Amino acid sequence: LSGALPVFVHPAYDPSWDLAYGMTPASVAEALAQHPETRAVLMVSPTYHGVCGEVGQIAALAHQHGIPLIVDEAHGAHFNFHSELPASALASGADLVVQSTHKLLAALTQSSMLHLQGSRVDAVRIAQLLQMLQSSSPSSLLLASLDAARHQMATQGQTLMERTLQLTHQARAQIQQTGLPILERPENPFEGFADLDPTRIVVDLSTFGLNGFTADVALTESGVTAELPTLRQLAFIVSLGTTPQDIETLVRELTHLVRGCKASAVQSVAKSLSLSPGTPPEIPSLSPREAFFAPHISVAIEQSVGLISAETACPYPPGIPLILPGEQITQAAISQLQRIKAQGGPIVGCADPDLKEILVVRSP
């Protein structure tokens, strides 16, 4: 929206789990060296699968360049309340941190917090920009729910997270007995995977020949709601609202799901050396703003390769766009979108959710 031109830094990718982790400090350093005009670094930590990147190291790199680090910590609002959880982005030196208080704490859906520390980001400017983007009639219900969630964690956070972690450990131990591989914190953390939120339980169904989307439908019918289905995995969240009965149901239904399915070899998280090497940073052909507002036309998806997208195409979940406005459309992105769609994954952001057509920037 701002007109900024993003420099995309590819995150570490683990082919053994088909999961993207964090951007490595080395790739951020390379991007900053190649683009000294950069005004801020933005990273996601933890990922939707609970993997935390090297926030402290990346903050130090940004600060060496005199620019702020902004962290999307949507999934980490609980981190500050127990020593067994990863360090929070603020504690690691980030300047601006956004948390979805409604995701992991008890605020109502839609409520989130933007935390600011230090003087690299101008608080007055942020307040002005928020006034431009937000309603001038804020919801008292949402604000009160944020304050209640804050009060609950300030007064009972440690106790609640202690109980949550106990349930998590129990669930992990019991799920392990089903033979389903569970994403674990590596014994020797490597670049892009500094830590893991243990309350995020990610199981790989592909070893049993199952697909995350169809498994999700079956589990939903039996009363278990996964947070995030993907092609190969299901991610579950154990939160301060989870009960021992919930864990019992989860373990029982997962056991039921894999019973009778033959397991292939169990894989473990790749060691750092087997992670695919980082792809150099990339810049879209046009800024997302320019592409979004440019004159555009709708073309058949098969004929869009090489053209500049005027819209977003994003499998949701997990909500990570494969095509953004301004990017040149690749065959790889289209094939991956079609694969996800064929297996039951919804695609959002684009005018034609059936993906038969896509909006592209009209050539002059």
Ligand X SMILES: Cc1ncc(COP(=O)(O)O)c(C=O)c1O
Residues that bind ligand X (CB under 6 A): 44, 48, 72, 74, 100, 112, 319
- Shortest distance, position 46 Cβ to ligand X, whole Å: 8
Helix (H, G, I), strand (E, B) or coil at 189: coil
Nearer to ligand X, 69 or 358 (CB): 69
Nearer to ligand X, 100 or 164 (CB): 100
Nearer to ligand X, 100 or 145 (CB): 100
CA within 13 Å, CB half, 219: 27
- Shortest distance, position 105 Cβ to ligand X, whole Å: 12
What is the DSSP annotation of 149-179?
HHHHHHHHHHHHHHHHHHHHHHHHHHHHTTT
CA distances from 41 to 26, 65, 149, 291, 312 (A): 14, 10, 29, 22, 21
Residue 299 · residue 357 · CB < 8 Å: yes
- Shortest distance, position 315 Cβ to ligand X, whole Å: 12
- Shortest distance, position 232 Cβ to ligand X, whole Å: 18
Nearer to ligand X, 306 or 319 (CB): 319
- Shortest distance, position 348 Cβ to ligand X, whole Å: 12
In whole angstroms, what is the distance from residue 261 CA to residue 215 CA? 12
Which ranges of the chain does DSSP label H, i.e. alpha helix? 25-34, 55-64, 101-104, 123-133, 140-176, 212-221, 244-258, 288-293, 331-342
Nearer to ligand X, 44 or 270 (CB): 44
